[in-house]
């Protein structure tokens, strides 16, 4: 009788673990499709006020005043393709979710916004990675 209960508990535990891994938002996003904020070349079908070629060199996790979590990326601006960015570095704000920034160098599209705590930040547009 005791062995039967243990086997039954193991079966339910395994089923619960598989269910949670399959249907958790972050995990499902990672498995099904990945989105990135970095492009290899400037896309024609995405509209943004700022287009830069940048190298991401630092990232920190944060929680804003509303309690939303995300990452603040610091990037060196290698080249301004379009827009009004006049500095050598830019802060990029990514809220928690699917869009990814693995680091390295690439083209980033977005819109500048003023954040009361962080100052001027770039809110990136994302795209699907095939």
Three-state DSSP state, 69: strand
**∠ CA 80-85-91, rounded to 5°:** 105
Q: What is the pLDDT of residues 62-93, one digit of tens each?
A: 887 788 888 899 999 999 999 999 999 999 98
pTM attached to this predicted model: 0.66
Confidence (pLDDT) at 63: 83
Q: Are 57 and 75 within 8 A, CB to CB?
A: yes
Q: Are 109 and 50 within 8 A, CB to CB?
A: yes
């Amino acid at each position: 009788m005791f062995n039967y209960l243990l086997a039954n508990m193991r079966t339910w535990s395994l089923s619960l673990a598989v269910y949670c891994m399959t249907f958790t938002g972050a995990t499902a996003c990672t498995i099904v499709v990945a989105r990135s904020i970095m492009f290899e070349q400037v896309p024609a079908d995405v509209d943004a006020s700022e287009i830069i070629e940048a190298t991401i060199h630092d990232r920190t996790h944060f929680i804003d005043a509303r309690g939303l979590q995300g990452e603040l990326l610091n990037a060196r601006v290698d080249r301004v393709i379009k827009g009004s960015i006049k500095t050598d570095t830019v802060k990029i704000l990514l809220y928690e979710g699917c869009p990814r920034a693995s680091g390295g160098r690439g083209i980033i599209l977005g819109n500048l916004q003023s954040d009361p705590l962080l100052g001027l930040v770039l809110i990136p547009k994302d795209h699907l990675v095939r």
